[in-house]
Structure formats: C-alpha cells, structure tokens
Amino acid sequence: MPTPEFAVIAGETVHGILAGQEAEVLEVVRGAYLAHGDGQSVNPPSYFLRYPDRPADRIIALPASLGGGFDVDGVKWISSFPGNVAAGIPRASAVLILNDHETGYPFACLESSIISAARTAASAALAAAELHRDRPRPRTITFFGTGLIARYIHTYLRGTGWDFDEITVYDHHREYADAFAGYLDGHDKANVVVAEGPEPAVRAAGLIVFATTAGAPHVHEPGWFAHNPTVLHVSLRDLDPAILRGAVNVLDDVEHCLKANTSPHLLEQADGNRDFVDATLCDVLRGFEPDRGKPIVFSPFGLGVLDLAIGAHVYRRAVDRGLASPVPGFFHDLDRYR
C-alpha cells in the first residue's frame, strides 16, 4: 500500500474552483442526496460544543460517510460566533477533513466556510428548481436575513437559470438589509426593495428565502402565506409551527430536521406525530408532486454528506490543477515495529 499523503487546500483555491460553477455543484449535490436516499451514506447526528457563559456561540462537528461513487468519509468542524459580525469578520468559519474510504487515513484539509455556504445554497437552489420543474418559476423573491448564506443562495439561483423582476430584502438590522440591497443592485437587474416589516416581505414574493440566525420562530401568521409561495426555510427556526401545519412540508432528512427545536421539531412536539411531513428532497427528485394549493416549505438540515461530496469534488479539481499543497512527512511513524 502506498504511503498515505496529506494536503491542504486554502480558501482562495476553493473559491476559484467553485466560482461560476453553480450548475456543476448543483449536480454534485443532487448525486449526494440520491446516494443518501438510497442508504449509501452514514450521517450521524451533529455534535455541538457549547459555552455556558456564551450561549450564542457554538462549534459543530458533522461527521459523515458517503458512498454511491463518492466513496469518501470525513468531518466538517464549523463554528458560529455571531459577535464576529460586529467585529468585521464573518460569523462562521470552518475546516473539512477528508478521510480515505478504505484506510481511514485523512488525506486533505480544506477551508470549508465556502464549501459549507455552497452546499447550503446548492441544496436550496436544487429544491427550488425541482419544486418548479413543471410550473412557471416565480419572478419575485424575498430574502429574510442578509448575510453570506443569502448572498450564496442568490448566486446559486442566478447561476442556475433563475431571473427575477423584483427582489425584496428584510433584516431586523436595517443597516444589513441596506448593505445587501446595495450588493444586489450591483449583481442583479431586478428591482430591489428593502421591506419595512416581515408581513410585506412575505406577501411580496412567490419564492421566500429564510437565511437568518434566529433561534426561535419570529414569523407567526399563516395568513401571510395565503398566496402559496415556495419557502426555502434554510435557517430552520423562523416559522411558527402553525405555518408548517398548513403547508406542504419537504425535509432533506426527517430524523435530522426533527431535532433541536427546529420549527418542524416544534410542530412534532405540539401534534405528537410526524404526519405533517409530506416528502424528502430525494422523493421530490424522484417525482413527488406537491399539493399546489398550499404553501410549500423546504426545511433542510444541511447534511454532512453534502460537505463531503463538494469537498471531494474540490479536492479532485485542486489535485488535477496542481493547486493542492502537500504536507511532506505529515504521517511520520508508519512502521509498526520501527
């Protein structure tokens, strides 16, 4: 067996490989979801490192193993420190370790905040496309939350064929909403509007993206959704359970989504059952047709297998282009009886 090797791939390289390749990344994510749906994955619960004196901060480990032709194992180690934003640096930072499927040896460490944002955005864009595959795509969109994930979701929607006439932006912090609106003005031909409150933001669009850091539901009125929009509930804790009760609910993974007081988990606790779950994204990919007479809410947990799929994709591209930085001698004592 050859001597195991280890390489580091920096964020600049990750960005260079993924930028402008939204359609390709979408297909990588599609393959990962199908492999997961076929049982060709191991995706245990995430593990949370929390701080009693800093409840808003956390670091999360997402271990996973993905077969189905990907054949890679690994773990994403991602931190969320909301106070970073006021200090002028991103809330989240992350690394991804990839392990060989046969030997277990780690073979790469990749900067992963970009991979994490890309897989989240690709998952949302894939769901939006599949939920509108046989019907006109909405030409109005609202973003709740205006950070990195919102920017990536916009990029992935635009990069996979979505066009908008009007984009509405809402954030509890008006300065963040204005900044995101300024970004959109420079990256989209649509008319960009900053909403004065959550109700007009919801009512304004046929496609709604929730990409906030909310820890508990803050949108409570089912009547706001009477126009039956498609909702990409990426941040998982924005919607009152009553809204989900009257919607078509699509999850990316039932067991993962129904944990940790997410909005779907709160509804399960309130009703004592999971009857409100209509489909997984894998079901949608295989032809599930939702009831068009209700709002459609996609609630993705964000599976570690998606990070592995995109991480392995980036690793292969980096190696092919000579952009992976090897670490000579990383594995030192390889002789059992030296």
Q: Could you list the pLDDT tens digit for every one of the 338 residues in the chain?
A: 677 899 999 999 999 999 999 999 999 999 999 999 999 999 999 999 999 999 999 999 999 999 999 999 999 999 999 899 889 998 899 999 999 999 999 999 999 999 999 999 999 999 999 999 989 999 999 999 999 999 999 999 999 999 999 999 999 999 999 999 999 999 999 999 999 999 999 999 999 999 998 989 999 999 999 999 999 999 999 999 999 999 999 999 999 999 999 999 999 999 999 999 999 999 999 999 999 999 999 999 989 999 999 999 999 999 999 999 999 999 988 887 86
Q: What are the structural domains of the chain?
A: 7-115+304-326 (3.30.1780.10), 121-299 (3.40.50.720)
- Whole-number pLDDT of residue 183: 98
Long-range (24+ apart) CB contacts under 8 A made by 192-200 are: 192/166, 192/167, 192/168, 193/166, 193/167, 193/168, 193/169, 194/168, 194/169, 194/170, 195/142, 195/168, 195/169, 195/170, 197/170, 198/144, 198/170, 198/224, 199/224, 200/168
Asked whether the beta carbons of 212 and 231 are under 8 A apart, the reply is: no
pTM for the model stands at: 0.95
Beta-strand relationship, 230-233 and 296-299: parallel
- What's the confidence (pLDDT) of residue 1? 60
| Residue appearing with tokens 């933001």 | 201
pLDDT of residue 312: 98
* pLDDT at 30 (0 to 100): 98
pLDDT at 93: 96
Whether 101 contacts 71, CB under 8 Å: yes
pLDDT number for residue 175 = 96
Question: Are 263 and 271 a contacting pair, CB within 8 Å?
Answer: no
CB atoms within 10 A of CB 242: 15
- Asked if 79 and 94 count as a contact pair (C-beta separation under 8 A), the reply is yes
Q: Which two tokens stand for residue 254?
A: 């039932």
Q: What is the predicted pLDDT for the residue at 275?
A: 98
**Contact in structure between 264 and 240 (CB atoms under 8 Å):** no
C-alpha 114, offset from chain centre = 11
Token pair, residue 69, equals: 């032709």
The closest of 293, 328, 338, 325 to 14, measured between CA atoms, is 325
What gap in Å lies between CA 151 and CA 159, rounded to an integer? Answer: 12
How far is 164 from 207, CA to CA, in rounded Å? 10
